[in-house]
């Protein structure tokens, strides 16, 4: 173990001193020195010798037991944390998951799980997976995994235990509403798809919705092309591309996705950095026959990296409008390195810039890592462009699409950049939307309502509520979009829910609170029963129908069309 510690730690020292790698895939580290001579071989030898001597002293002299695995991880991550927030070390299990995510699939049982007040529950089983074939369903509470008590586990702990090698068995014991005793299922782990696109359907007549929210993995562009093809066959004439919460991923997929909408040869992103990026590398669209439908992109604070590349390219070129909240602001390029013993790391080697030169990266020079990841937009105090008229803080004038960037408050963390049709944006703080719209808010009261709605629907879907047996879900109908007549939230359902809340002490809800939030109550009940009957995707569509950001995106589509036409023809509207 001591030898393993020294080998791994020494490798990381060399990596930290000698930058290199490839975007989007791992490679084994090569002992080489940068051509620019930034770090001499002697310096590297001295650093490695000092470190090895420290390890030797610890191994020989330390009075207690040494956890070399833990010490290795702490030493490496401690070194990387002095660089930037995105250079990170991955132990074996996490590095394996990183590679699985990039491959758009993993081996497991195929369930979506949710943490609730008294444990982890199955929200939906994925069609065609081991869980889907054996009948695990909405509302099943996970009690045991391979004989180990899981009642106090988090959803992350459950997820790690049910994943494993292909062909390996795992036994799950669940508590099912209406069952006299816990049920046991032995499942054989198999390939589970991990798609980038989680939802694609006709949102309104002629308007398509694509939820590209699952990262930019190896199949992202292929999934998008297929989704657009199907939606156009159903009459789609305009598109909302939802990338809220998408953390990013592979650079080549961001370029390919952008190419679906940009003419061939237009710049998508440039990369500037050290060593192989000492001269900027410019990536251009390869779109031979790009889609010309009006386009609105949805982003939020969780949209990062590759997502920001796509949104920035569309915005810079005036190809569409961006709606939502200012994105995360991750414009650092990480290379993936595989280290000895199948561990790995991501190391920042360059920065991304939008087609017209905006830096995507938010400042990380002050404050803690926690603040960087959780508080980046909480205290934002945007200032209007000095050359622009005053504007509402939450919307741009969509009546004048070519002036939108001039009339929206923006964080001026970087220099002003003039983009297509004279629109001005500022770099250094993520992508500022053309139309800022806050998301639906969740108060403690609404959280309690959502929890009660789940617990109630668990009984409703099991057929346990007298007079509401028609709501019993016998079998999940995958691939279906719910109609208004499917499982309606009737007066009888509402009365049953009120009765449930009165007897459920843990909900801590009063009749007055339910009446105060009546629309939200009905929405959550509807989402839960549709999830139980038609799967997670269908349930998500219920929420999207009343999502304030989606509704604003619908309103913005005509302006997106006018903007793209103005840029294409060179005729500036005012």
Give residue-wise pLDDT tens across range 273-298. Answer: 765 556 789 999 998 899 999 999 99
Identify the pLDDT of residue 22: 34
Identify the pLDDT of residue 533: 97
d(CA 226, CA 243): 17
Angle between helices 251-259 and 220-233 in degrees, nearest 10: 20
Using CB atoms within 10 Å of the CB of residue 30, give its burial: 0 to 12 exposed, 13 to 18 middle, 19+ buried. Answer: exposed
Identify the pLDDT of residue 412: 57
Helix, strand, or coil (residue 117):
coil
Residues 228-256 have a mean pLDDT of 96
Identify the pLDDT of residue 275: 57
| Per-chain mean pLDDT for the chain | 84
Q: Which residues contact 431 (CB under 8 A, 6 or more apart)?
A: 299, 303, 308, 311, 312, 315, 322, 326, 327, 360
d(CA 78, CA 72): 10
- Catalytic positions, written as ranges: 305, 316, 330
Question: Who has greater pLDDT, 162 or 338?
Answer: 162
Question: Who has greater pLDDT, 144 or 12?
Answer: 144
Angle between helices 251-259 and 306-316 in degrees, nearest 10: 30
Question: Who has greater pLDDT, 86 or 112?
Answer: 112
**285 touches 266 (CB < 8 A):** yes
Q: Hey, which residues does 425 pair with through a beta bridge?
A: 417
Identify the pLDDT of residue 321: 97
Whether 400 has a pLDDT exceeding 50, the answer reads no
Identify the pLDDT of residue 257: 98
Q: How confident is the model at residue 364 (pLDDT cuts 50, 70, 90)?
A: confident
Identify the pLDDT of residue 81: 82
* Residue 123 parent element (H or E): strand 119-125
The torsion of the CA quartet 51, 56, 59, 62, rounded to 10 degrees, works out to -80
| The three-state (H, E, C) secondary structure of 296-319, written as one string | EEEECCCCCCHHHHHHHHHHHCCC
Residue matched to tokens 């028609």: 470
Residues 99-114 have a mean pLDDT of 80
Identify the pLDDT of residue 111: 94
Whether 226 has a pLDDT exceeding 80, the answer reads yes
% helix, strand, coil for the chain, step of 5: 40, 20, 40
User: 154-168, 372-386, 534-548: lowest mean pLDDT where?
Assistant: 372-386
Q: Is the domain defined by 105-193 classed in CATH 3.30.70.330?
A: no
Whether 219 has a pLDDT exceeding 90, the answer reads yes
User: 24-33, 352-361, 446-455: lowest mean pLDDT where?
Assistant: 24-33
Residues 517-539 have a mean pLDDT of 97
Q: Quote the DSSP letter at residue 375.
A: S
Which parts of 426-490 fold into alpha helices (H)? Answer: 444-461
Identify the pLDDT of residue 399: 33
CA neighbor of 561 nearest in space, from 548, 573, 550: 573
Residues 243-269 have a mean pLDDT of 95
Residues 530-541 have a mean pLDDT of 96
Q: In the structure encoding, which two tokens stand for residue 303, read together?
A: 């949209």
Whether 470 has a pLDDT exceeding 90, the answer reads yes
CB atoms within 10 A of CB 424: 17
Q: Hey, which residues does 435 pair with through a beta bridge?
A: 323
Q: How confident is the model at residue 411 (pLDDT cuts 50, 70, 90)?
A: low
Whether 539 has a pLDDT exceeding 90, the answer reads yes
* Residue 529 parent element (H or E): helix 518-534
Q: Hey, which residues does 284 pair with through a beta bridge?
A: 267
Q: Hey, which residues does 344 pair with through a beta bridge?
A: 90, 338
Identify the pLDDT of residue 98: 74
Identify the pLDDT of residue 19: 38
Question: Who has greater pLDDT, 219 or 337?
Answer: 219
Q: Where are any strands of DSSP class E within 153-277?
A: 169-175, 183-188, 190-193, 197-204, 207-212, 238-242, 267-273
User: 34-38, 139-143, 334-338, 344-348: lowest mean pLDDT where?
Assistant: 34-38
Q: Which residues contact 208 (CB under 8 A, 6 or more apart)?
A: 200, 201, 202, 228, 231, 232, 234, 236, 238, 239, 240, 293
Cα 407 from chain centre: 29
Q: How confident is the model at residue 99 (pLDDT cuts 50, 70, 90)?
A: confident
Question: Who has greater pLDDT, 568 or 257?
Answer: 257
**433 touches 559 (CB < 8 A):** no
CA neighbor of 458 nearest in space, from 80, 116, 255, 176: 176
Q: Is the dihedral of CA 393, 443, 248, 540 positive or negative?
A: negative
**415 touches 566 (CB < 8 A):** no
Whether 26 has a pLDDT exceeding 50, the answer reads no
Residues 405-421 have a mean pLDDT of 64
Q: How confident is the model at residue 336 (pLDDT cuts 50, 70, 90)?
A: confident
**424 touches 404 (CB < 8 A):** no
Q: What is the DSSP string of 71-111?
A: HHHHHHHHHHHTT-TT-EEE-HHHHHHHHHHHTTEEEE--E
Backbone angles phi, psi at 282, to 5 degrees: -105, 125
- Percentage of residues of the chain with pLDDT beyond 70: 82
Residues 69-96 have a mean pLDDT of 82
Which parts of 135-209 fold into alpha helices (H)? Answer: 155-162
Backbone angles phi, psi at 121, to 5 degrees: -120, 155
Question: Parallel, antiparallel, or unpaired: how do β-strands 141-145 and 169-175 relate?
Answer: antiparallel
Identify the pLDDT of residue 172: 97
Question: Parallel, antiparallel, or unpaired: how do β-strands 344-353 and 332-338 relate?
Answer: antiparallel
CATH architecture of 197-331+353-439: Alpha-Beta Complex (3.90)
Q: Quote the DSSP letter at residue 383.
A: B
Residues 476-495 have a mean pLDDT of 94
d(CA 122, CA 142): 7
Whether 312 has a pLDDT exceeding 90, the answer reads yes
Identify the pLDDT of residue 564: 93
Whether 352 has a pLDDT exceeding 80, the answer reads yes
Identify the pLDDT of residue 31: 41
The domain ranges of the chain are: 2-92, 105-193, 197-331+353-439, 444-546
Whether 16 has a pLDDT exceeding 50, the answer reads no
Residue matched to tokens 């109550």: 521
Whether 311 has a pLDDT exceeding 60, the answer reads yes
User: 322-326, 348-352, 521-525: lowest mean pLDDT where?
Assistant: 348-352
Q: Which residues contact 329 (CB under 8 A, 6 or more apart)?
A: 304, 308, 360, 361, 362, 376, 428, 429, 430
Identify the pLDDT of residue 28: 38
Identify the pLDDT of residue 215: 93
């Amino acid at each position: 173990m001591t030898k393993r510690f020294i080998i791994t730690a020494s490798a990381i020292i060399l990596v930290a001193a000698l930058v290199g790698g490839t975007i989007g895939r791992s490679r084994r580290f090569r002992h080489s020195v940068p051509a620019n001579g930034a770090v001499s071989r002697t310096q590297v030898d001295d650093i490695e010798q000092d470190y090895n001597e420290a390890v030797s002293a610890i191994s020989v002299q330390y009075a207690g037991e040494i956890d070399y695995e833990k010490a290795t991880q702490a030493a490496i991550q401690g070194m990387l944390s002095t660089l930037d927030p995105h250079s990170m070390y991955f132990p074996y299990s996490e590095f394996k998951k990183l590679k699985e995510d990039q491959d758009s699939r993993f081996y497991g049982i195929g369930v979506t799980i949710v943490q609730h007040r008294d444990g982890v529950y199955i929200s939906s089983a994925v069609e065609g997976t081991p869980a889907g074939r054996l009948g695990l369903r909405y509302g099943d509470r996970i009690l045991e995994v391979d004989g180990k008590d899981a009642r106090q586990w988090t959803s992350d702990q459950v997820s790690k235990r049910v994943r494993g090698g292909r062909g390996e068995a795992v036994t799950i014991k669940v508590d099912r509403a209406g069952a006299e005793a816990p049920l046991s299922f032995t499942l054989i782990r198999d390939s589970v798809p991990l798609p980038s696109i989680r939802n694609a359907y006709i949102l309104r007549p002629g308007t398509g919705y694509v939820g590209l929210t699952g990262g930019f993995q190896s199949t992202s562009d292929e999934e998008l092309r297929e989704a657009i093809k199907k939606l156009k066959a159903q009459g789609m004439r305009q598109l909302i591309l939802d990338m809220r919460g998408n953390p990013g991923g592979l650079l080549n997929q961001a370029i390919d996705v952008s190419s679906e909408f940009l003419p061939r040869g237009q710049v998508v992103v440039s990369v500037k950095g050290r060593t192989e990026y000492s001269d900027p590398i410019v990536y251009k669209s390869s779109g031979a026959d790009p889609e010309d439908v009006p386009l609105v992109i949805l982003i939020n604070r969780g949209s990062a990296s590759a997502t920001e590349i796509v949104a920035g390219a569309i915005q810079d070129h005036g190809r569409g409008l961006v709606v939502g909240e200012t994105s995360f602001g991750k414009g650092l390029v990480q290379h993936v390195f595989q280290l000895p013993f199948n561990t790995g790391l991501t190391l920042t080697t360059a920065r991304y810039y939008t087609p017209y030169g905006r830096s995507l990266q938010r400042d990380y020079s002050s404050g803690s890592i926690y603040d960087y990841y959780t508080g980046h937009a909480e205290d934002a105090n945007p200032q209007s462009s000095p050359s622009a008229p005053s504007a509402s803080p939450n919307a741009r004038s969509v009546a004048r699409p070519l002036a939108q960037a001039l009339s929206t408050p923006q964080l001026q963390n970087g220099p002003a950049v003039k983009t297509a049709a004279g629109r001005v944006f500022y770099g250094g703080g993520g992508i500022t939307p053309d139309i800022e719209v806050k998301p639906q808010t969740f108060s403690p009261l609404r959280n309690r309502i959502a929890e009660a709605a789940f617990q109630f629907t668990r009984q409703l879907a099991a057929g346990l509520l007298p007079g509401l047996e028609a709501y019993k879900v016998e079998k999940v109908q995958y691939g279906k979009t719910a109609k208004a007549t499917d499982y309606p939230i009737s007066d009888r359902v509402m009365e049953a829910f009120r009765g449930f809340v009165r007897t459920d002490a843990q909900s801590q809800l009063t009749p007055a609170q339910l009446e105060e939030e009546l629309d939200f109550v009905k929405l959550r009940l509807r989402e839960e029963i549709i999830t139980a009957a038609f799967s997670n995707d269908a349930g998500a569509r219920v929420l999207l129908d009343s999502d304030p950001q989606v509704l604003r995106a619908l309103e913005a589509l005509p302006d997106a069309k006018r903007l793209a036409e103005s840029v294409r023809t060179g005729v500036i509207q005012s």
